[in-house]
Chain A
């Protein structure tokens, strides 16, 4: 269900056929840039009634990461963030997921 929601959101934001989006697609491959990712997350939060933390959004670079993260949130778990991510690093991206990529 969550995978389908992610595919729907990406397809809507990028105006690309759903068949081109797989669990293994990366945002780079799908040409999902930082602003696209934020709009994808907006649609998903609205439809799944979730709040995805800003830092988690910055860590999402492919479909699998988004689906895994949302499934954990749905189960009431926290999304674990890599220890290397500091608030300073996140700040340099000015909310820009692409800038925050490692």
Chain B
């Protein structure tokens, strides 16, 4: 069976504009969650968010590109440019034909929609900008990566709320492992700081008034974040043959549906997703040292996820390091799996477990080692990254450290 490895990483979010800044923020526990900078923020029940501060698209794009790209596509493209430059693949026509682009996004071009609808309904403007449709379509990120970098293999976008980019990453991994593609550019992006969307989240009453405290007893909910992440995947053989730098192996993917409640997670659904990822990877609970948890910081998710982890890992659960980086970058919805995959790959690569920031008080219902507040040096042999979406759609990706002298 073909093995699949990560040879390029790119990320932009509230923790930084590239993977170095991103990782530095994680290691120094410097949160990107700050007071909201957006129109009418005073009309929201929550006050903070993980925004890409001072973002000026003109630093990255020509004016015409900027008119064509919603911020969610911009974040996807910026991270893809970084990841592809990082991977340094020498492209041939044949490889371009066999390289997939699989992205995830939950809200897609909602920032554009929000702005254009405001003009239509509130300002009584008669005309939409003609790029509104191509800006808003969920596959804009995938299509623009494909066009910009000449990648002509399977390309699509998956939209499964907060699991979107884990579903994208898992699908890209399977496409390569099954021989449908030889390389893939995958990840996800989200731009969500449009007032209409923020009011909708406000109404659901799941956003914390101040900050996100995963697994902490005083947690009050999630905090929203924006950004994009991209991973370049290729076969282990191809990576070894060209002497590429390998961050980690993508070892397995599992996905399930709760088939129960639209917002309340089950224990069985997430547990079966983690078990499926382990089975797909051929890994046992004893092979996993770290879980990058879904860890939204809502009262319901965190103890539920802990129960699911215990159900899968049994006695090994006590040995695991489990953390949620969402405390630092916020919940980036459809980008979460991508950003957290970058965090997990870098954790394996740098042999450091990211902390769960903002932790103040142990919760007996979340009594795993949640790596409170301080990063921890740790050789991570295997890891899982979890995403559990509203709608009960669960996706878990398994990663493995590639040992020296690895061969297929």
Using CB atoms and an 8 Å cutoff, list the residues of chain A in contact with chain B: 13-15, 35, 38-39, 41-42, 45-46
* CB contact between B131 and one of A39, A41, A46 (< 8 Å): that residue: A39
Q: Which residue of B lies closest to A51 (CB)?
A: B126
Q: Which residue of B lies closest to A38 (CB)?
A: B130
In the complex, are the beta carbons of B129 and A15 less than 8 A apart? no
The count of residues in chain B whose C-beta lies closer than 8 Å to any C-beta of chain A is 8
Q: A13-B64, A39-B130 are in contact. List 13 more A-B contacts (CB 8 A).
A: A14-B64, A15-B62, A15-B63, A15-B64, A35-B130, A35-B131, A38-B130, A39-B67, A39-B129, A39-B131, A42-B127, A42-B130, A46-B127
Q: Which residue of A lies closest to B63 (CB)?
A: A15
CA distance A39 to B63 in the complex (A): 13
CA distance A41 to B129 in the complex (A): 10
In the complex, are the beta carbons of B127 and A45 less than 8 A apart? yes
Instruction: Please classify the interface of chain A as helix (H, G, I), strand (E, B), loop, or mixed, using the class held by over half of its residues.
Output: helix
CA distance A14 to B131 in the complex (A): 15
CA distance A15 to B62 in the complex (A): 9
Contacts of A39 in B (CB 8 A): 67, 129-131
CA distance A13 to B129 in the complex (A): 12
In the complex, are the beta carbons of B63 and A42 less than 8 A apart? no
Give the 5 A-B residue pairs with the shortest CB-CB distance, closest first.
Answer: A38-B130, A42-B130, A39-B130, A46-B127, A15-B63
Contacts of B129 in A (CB 8 A): 39, 42
Distance from B280 Cβ to chain A, minimum over Cβ atoms (Å): 41
Contacts of A38 in B (CB 8 A): 130
CA distance A13 to B67 in the complex (A): 10
Q: Which residue of A lies closest to B129 (CB)?
A: A42
CA distance A96 to B131 in the complex (A): 13
**For chain B residues 50-83, which have a beta carbon within 8 Å of chain A?**
62-64, 67
Contacts of B130 in A (CB 8 A): 35, 38-39, 41-42
CA distance A101 to B85 in the complex (A): 40
Q: Which residue of B lies closest to A95 (CB)?
A: B130
CA distance A42 to B67 in the complex (A): 13
CA distance A7 to B240 in the complex (A): 54
